[in-house]
Amino acid sequence: MMYYPYIRGKQFDLLALNEALNRNVLSEKIQPIIEPVKDSATIKKTIRLFQEKNHPLYVIQNPQVGQYKRFEKPVHTWDFIQDNAVKPARIVTAENAYESLGLAMPCYVFDSDQPLRQPSMLQKFAELDGVKLIPDQSRFRIWFPENKIILHDAFHLPSSSDYWVKSDDFYSDHHLYYKEDGYAGFADFTIDDQIYSDKGFPSKAITIHLTYFDAYGNIRVKHFFSESNDGWGNQADKFFEALDKLVLWTRRNADQLLITEGLQELLYYQTMRKFPGLGSIKKWSLLHHLELVSAYLEEGRKWKKRSKNQFSLAE
């Protein structure tokens, strides 16, 4: 059983991966795929940490979004160590298909926006070794009988006007049924949208996104949102409006939740009454998600045995 979280290499997403490794809460059955989007020292540090820990990781060599692809000579570079768990990966598009065929890659990610259409090309890729992350499209499901994994767009960010209507969403059940469906694992964009965005300005609404298991073993996601969303200011006040909802929900459901280290970090902010910034909120929420899936991969439903008395939720 393998999970391949597809992570764009933004600063706080990378920091979440670093935290997961340094805190020893990332299962080896989780093999992240990083698509670099910025030429930053953090991505080099992250790759080096995964190399030192010898933890499985794939790094996209031809990113299709962000600023990194624009640099002919990036400042921050890295090398792949022979026989290490960190491996290169490649995005395959209709435009670069012939070139990609000549490169023996441990992992191929097939672009859903520029998909291959010729049966002859699909057949050639099907004959290659390596993990194949595919879009949920019939031609790929048919032509790739083995080593195929659907890259699922599980997270759908509601608009600010929809928060009050849709505060709880279905996320995924692929971890439950991927084997029966004929796949080698499951993959998604974690708590991010498939459509890449790198906005750097404040939001009118602040939302904390938290994944959890429901009674049937499905993964769902709660959206804890602020209330005073008419203007752009008062970011700290908005954060605590959202955080208060998270704390209340956690107290009410503590015996059914896995109180991860990521969730604990979010809960601590209420005690400290400190607004950490939007990036840190994303970091801890992503760490929580990685810990949650790690617990399932390592323990199955038995993770519930350690869901009680993990954290003081005193009033």
Domain ranges in the chain are: 3-302
Encode the chain (315 residues) as per-residue pLDDT tens digits. 899 999 998 999 999 999 999 999 999 999 999 999 888 899 999 999 999 999 999 999 999 886 755 555 666 677 788 889 999 999 999 999 999 998 889 999 999 888 888 888 999 999 999 999 999 888 888 888 888 999 999 887 765 545 555 789 999 999 999 999 889 999 999 998 887 777 655 678 889 999 999 999 999 999 999 988 777 778 899 999 999 999 999 999 998 899 999 999 999 999 999 899 999 999 999 999 999 999 999 987 766 665 544 545 444
Residue 192: CB partners within 8 Å, gap ≥ 6?
7, 8, 13, 155
Please check whether residue 104 is in contact with residue 128, taking contact to mean a CB–CB distance below 8 angstroms.
yes
pLDDT of amino acid 212? 96
pLDDT of amino acid 315? 44
DSSP state of 30: B
Bridge partner list, 170: 220
What is d(CA 205, CA 122) in angstroms, rounded to the nearest whole number? 44
Bridge partner list, 210: 222
pLDDT of amino acid 309? 44
pLDDT of amino acid 219? 96
Report residue 27 as tokens: 């299962």
SS3 content of the chain, % helix, strand, coil (to 5): 35, 20, 45
pLDDT of amino acid 47? 95
Residue 13 to residues 33, 84, 192, 254: CA-CA distances in angstroms?
12, 22, 10, 26
Q: State how beta strands 86-92 and 107-110 pair.
A: parallel
pLDDT of amino acid 308? 45
| Nearest by Cα to 160 from 245, 69, 85, 225 | 225
